[in-house]
Homo-oligomer: A and B are copies of this chain.
Amino acid sequence: MNAPTSHDHLVPVISQRDIPPAFVEALKSRFAANCSTAQVVREQHGRDESAFTEVPPPVAVVFAENTQDVADAVALAAQYRVPVIPFGIGSSLEGHLLAVQGGISIDVSRMKKVLSINADDLTVTVQAGVTRKQLNEEIKSTGLFFPIDPGADATIGGMSATRASGTNAVRYGTMRENVLALEVVTSNGQVIRTGTRAKKSSAGYDLTRLMVGSEGTLGVITEITLRLYPLPEAVLAAVCSFPSIEAAVRTTITMIQIGVPIARVELIDANAVRMVNAHSKLELAESPMLLMEFHGSPNGVKEQAETVQEIANDNGGQSFEWATTPEERTRLWTARHNAYFAGIQSRPGCRAISTDTCVPISRLADCLLDSVAEADASGIPYFLVGHVGDGNFHFGYLIDPNNAAERETAETLNHKLVQRALSLEGTCTGEHGIGLHKIDFLVTEAGEGAVDMMRTIKRALDPDNIMNPGKIFSY
């Protein structure tokens, strides 16, 4: 097999395990046409949006149509000690889907049923393959919505597994706060439920929160019960340009510190604005900007917006513009959600190395500004977007994947940024997960003792290490 060409801290531990032919036969016998070993299908399931490109694909892909399918596939894999990698839509940025130790992919994208909408309780239960846009479409008539919105139209299963968030997290929280309960297939193929539909509970260990963010290493998530929110009575969106990134960041810090319950506040740097303009046919002013949204009663959003406009003015904010129609709002937010793809498109053939640090809001300027200076000095094309209200932002370093020097430079930038974030009491990943890319960062961040505790849990719940092995920990 080909080893990745990049430098050390990028190399996932790759030890392809032997897959017994009898296992693949058993899988085909159980799943017939829903088990594929076609090269094109395997390759499609053996990559994601990460910058890793050199890992062999899984030996087979099972298309699960229900929980029993997942349970049977995992039970067979357990019997033959074969790795199992859950697959949603393939939008991971951290190599979660790569078969670094071989094994099979369990594709849950056909598990697309919204199982029960409990509008009166503001909850919904869905299968793991439902995507966030599909969900919001299917519950539209209830007057409720689900706020968590990573850039891609990811599956709810994948979003749960990576503890995803997005632009609304500053007000509505992340998957951590919004998953009420899960159905999970454990490493021996057993099906468990991790909670009820009660809004709060003190009933034993919080298995829901343990599974959320476990990246497929403790079990395969098959059903998810989520919290929903009433669509706000009034929504106001605004764009404001700033003379510098610092001015935009200072504005954000102040509004959070005084407690404005803003629903979204996104930083987009001048590079990202340029890329988004080209990709989404917009004509936004090519300077750092904040893209904001306020949710509440008509009076409430007006109050919030006036407060923020005043803070922006104090920081030199220019041309505070309102998006008054739903169409305008949708156009702006679609552009924001496409920023990652706009970035990729701006340099044909490139891959993005995406950073994901998150720091306490008071440290945001310290963390961001030095990193911008370093990125500018590096000569690597990049864009910068951020859920700055949460202290979370992403550089996308746009590298030529065949250029080892560029990869090295980008990784060095990332490394410096993470060290800076950790020294400021932050985390290496706000919402993308550890995957393959941040295994060493996790140890630096959490300490050997805490990572040992995680590993002990992993070994106890998955003694043969078949659940997405090689992610989070390199063993």
Contact = CB atoms under 8 A, between A and B. Distances in A.
A288 interface: no
Nearest to A253: B120
A344 interface: no
Given A303-B299, A361-B120, A361-B121, A446 B213 contact: no
The residue in A118, A196, A431, A460 that gathers the most chain B C-beta atoms within 10 A of its C-beta is A196
Interface in A155-211: 162-165, 169, 173-174, 176-177, 186, 190-207, 209-210
A390 interface: yes
Contact of A456 (B253, B300, B461, B472): B461
19 contacts: A118-B360, A120-B257, A120-B361, A186-B453, A192-B453, A197-B425, A198-B426, A198-B427, A199-B391, A203-B445, A204-B446, A204-B451, A205-B454, A205-B457, A206-B206, A206-B209, A207-B454, A456-B460, A457-B461
Contacts of A164: 202
A348 interface: no
Nearest to A225: B425
Contacts of A422: 196
A212 B203 contact: no
B121 A362 contact: yes
B299 A442 contact: no
Interface of A: 118, 120-123, 162-165, 169, 173-174, 176-177, 186, 190-207, 209-210, 212-214, 218, 229-230, 253, 256-259, 296-297, 299-300, 303, 356, 358-363, 390-392, 422, 425-434, 438, 441-442, 445-447, 449-451, 453-454, 456-461, 472
Contact of A201 (B118, B207, B429, B457): B429
A207 B453 CA distance: 8
A458 B257 CA distance: 39
A129 to B, nearest CB: 21
A65 B441 CA distance: 33
Nearest to A94: B202
In the complex, the count of this chain's copies comes to: 2
A75 to B, nearest CB: 14
Nearest to A438: B203
A449 B200 contact: no
Contacts of A446: 193-194, 203-204
B450 A198 contact: no
Given A202-B433, A454-B207, A460-B456, A360 B300 contact: no
A422 B197 CA distance: 10
Nearest to A303: B297
Contact of A360 (B197, B202, B207): B197
B202 A163 contact: yes
Given A198-B427, A200-B430, 4 more contacts: A163-B200, A193-B450, A207-B450, A299-B299
Contacts of A451: 204
Contacts of A442: 203-204
Nearest to A359: B198
A472 B203 CA distance: 8
B203 A210 contact: no
Nearest to A218: B205
B450 A461 contact: no
Contacts of A454: 204-205, 207
Contacts of A431: 200, 202
Contact of A162 (B162, B186, B202): B202
A391 B163 CA distance: 26
A246 B307 CA distance: 41
A393 to B, nearest CB: 12
4 cross-chain pairs, A with B, having the tightest CB-CB distances, nearest first: A460-B460, A209-B209, A230-B259, A120-B362
A198 B358 contact: yes
Nearest to A173: B177
A419 to B, nearest CB: 13
Contact of A200 (B190, B390, B453): B390
Nearest to A433: B202
Contacts of A425: 196-198
B204 A430 contact: no
